[in-house]
Each structure stands twice: as C-alpha cells, then as structure tokens.
A and B are shown apart, each in its own frame.
Chain A
Amino acid sequence: MPPTVRLEVSRYRPEQEDKPAFQTYEVPFRDDWVVLDALNHVKDQMDGSLSFRWSCRMGVCGSCGMMVNGRPKLTCAAFLSEHLPGPIRVEPLNYFPIIRDLIVDITDFLEKLKKVRPWIVRDQVLPLEKGEYRQTPEQLDVYRQFSQCINCMLCYAACPVVGLEPEFVGPAAIALAQRYNLDSRDDGAKQRLKILSDHAGIWGCTFVGECTQVCPKHVDPAGAIQQYKLAGAVDMLKSFLMPWGTR
C-alpha cells in the first residue's frame, strides 16, 4: 500500500452548513506533489463537490492562495513533503468572506486596488509620434521589485491590520502604488499620496512585516509601505516649512 497523507480541508456549503467545518481526506503521498495536486486528486478521484480556485500551477497566476497549516501559501508551491507527517490543514485565505469551501470573495481587494490608481499617470500625455516613454535600466531597477506582484493576496491574509481594520487598503495595493510612484514615467505620486496619506492608507500599517515574509514573489510590501511613509512624512514637513513650494 502506498504511503498516504491526511488532508483536513475546510468545507463550507452555504446551502447545507451554517459555518465551515473540516473534512478529512486520505490522499496518496508523492514526493513531487504540492497541496494543489492533492486537492485536485480529491476533486478528481474522491469528492467532486470540493471547490477551490487554481489556474497556472507555477506561481504566476496568483489564484491558488490558501492557508496551509495556518500560514498563507500558494498551494501550487507548498510541497506535501514540507508538511509531513500531517495532517495538513487547508483553509480559505484569512479575513476574506468565504463564498464556498476554499473560495473567498475578493471584491473588496479589487476595489482597494483600483483606488490607488495603479497605472502610469502623466501630467502631459505625449503624442504617439514622439514614440515610447523611455527608461534606463537604472530607472527600471528602482521599482522592479514592487512590480512583481501577482495579486495572490497572501499578504492580506498575513496582515492582522487587514483583519482588525476593514478599511485598511492593505499591503499589495500600497506596494503597487509605490511601484508607480517610483516609476520615472509617472507623475501621479501627489494624487496617490492624497488618497493614501491617512489611517486607511499608509499610516494604518503598524509594520508587523509578515506581508513580506509570506510574499511568494519577494515584493517586500512592508518595505514599500515604510518607504512610502518616509516619503509622506518628508512631503508633510516640506509643505509645513515651505508652504510656497507645494501646490
């Protein structure tokens, strides 16, 4: 008999249950299997009613984020072998409302993302015949790290402020705002600071730092937010000392 590992999967079927409960599945253990493979095995071979999101299986799409043994992880990158001897607990991402089983409602995150204007804002849009907005490798290097975000929302599930303060814009969205602030082609930093310079924005962050720890793309949202705070504080000081210098 091949060795197996026990999965404890959080189930919530709103037409059947009032609140989530764990269901146990004994799945084959394979060295090259990740938690997502095990979930797909359950779905295909054992219980077709299990619902979860996934797509690319290689850490690019950002849709298979779940809590694995209490830590937010991309299940396509969480090897079963790293969680032995089991049981392995799989739950939906923390703090988001659960729609069904392992699927959460991300509407709130998408609204927040839109709010920070994560696109290139120009004071003057150049006509097409002027060509593209060019950038040196050094200018790219300044924001490259923050541009690697795949919107997997693991950082939201790791952030206690997100859980405690529903209004908090959150790590990924602020990191993305900072990504555009640092872009040499962008002129939107002032607009974004106006949106983010309050308790729901950068000042809501208490620098727990777990967002950076769980980020599968090494974006370092905690760094982005602290650097944003520093820029915000300098800006505030400037407008206080030199009121004529700011608009």
Chain B
Amino acid sequence: MTSPAPYTPYHPRWYRRRMSVWWWLKDRAYVKFVLRELTSVFVAFFAFLYLWQLRAVTEGPDAYARFLARLQTPFFLTVDIVALAFVLFHTITWFNLTPTAMVVRVRGKRVPGWIVAGSNYLVWVVVSAIVAWIFTRGLP
C-alpha cells in the first residue's frame, strides 16, 4: 500500500512486505478462487469447439464426419473430460454465488438465497432437457 505520510524522527522506517507470487497456495480458499478463475479457459475452449463444429457443418458431410472422428481420438476425449469437469466447477461455483450478487425483494422482504441459486439450477435443468429433446427426437 502506498502511504502519503511523511517520514518523521519518531517513525524512522515503515516495513513494507512483498507479496509472494505463490500467495494463492497459502490458503485453500485462494486455491479455489484461482481454480475458478482458470475455468474460464475451459469455457472458452468449448466455445471454440462449437465454432469449429459449425465450420465443419458448413463444409459438408465429409468434413463433418472428419470432425466427429477427430473428436473421438483419445486426446480429445481426455481434454473434453477435463474441460467438462472445469466447466461444471465453473457453473456450480457461480450459481452458488448468485445470491451474494443479486438481492431479490418481494414485497419488501428479501428472497432467501437458496431460491435465487435454485432458480439457476432449475433453468439449467429445463434448458438441458430441451436440448436433449431436440437432439434425441430423430433417434429411434
């Protein structure tokens, strides 16, 4: 921190501590925070994956088959599983934090946090069900 106070004979020397680059390993809460920040990389990874998929779709059936074959290689399967774990961590930690950021008042009374967080999960389940329905409706 900066200190605009001048040096005086009674305060000969302030001692300023330096912050270690490993500060985030000193407490479990900080590790969790840094991991949560890191999840954004995997969210971006999925976004790029979908763009890549869209491009394959526009290039025709052969290109799309090649895209699917590539996704089934052990490398992509491993990366996908790791990325999925991080994206789930991202989603769950952020959903659980929504009541902190959002104060919903109904007739002057604050709506309990579990309802605010729970409504996110509800929307998640409903949207997932709709997506699942769209993708499986053509299947026998």
Chain A residues packing against B (C-beta within 8 Å): 12, 14-15, 19-20, 70-71, 94-99, 105, 107-109, 111, 138, 141, 160, 162-164, 166, 206-210, 212-213, 220, 222-223, 226-227, 229-230
Contact = CB atoms under 8 A, between A and B. Distances in A.
Given A97-B1, A107-B5, A166-B1, 5 more contacts: A12-B15, A71-B27, A98-B17, A105-B1, A209-B29
A107 B30 contact: no
Contact of B27 (A12, A70, A162): A70
A138 B5 CA distance: 42
* Across the A-B interface, the 4 shortest Cβ-Cβ residue pairs: A226-B101, A97-B14, A98-B15, A14-B13
Contacts, number: 83
Interface of B: 1-5, 11-17, 19, 23-24, 26-27, 29-30, 33, 37, 97, 100-103, 108
Contacts of A213: 29
A227 B101 contact: yes
Contacts of A12: 15
A111 B1 CA distance: 12
A143 to B, nearest CB: 11
Contacts of B11: 14, 99
A164 B19 contact: yes
Contacts of A94: 17
Contacts of B3: 97, 105, 107-108
A70 B26 CA distance: 9
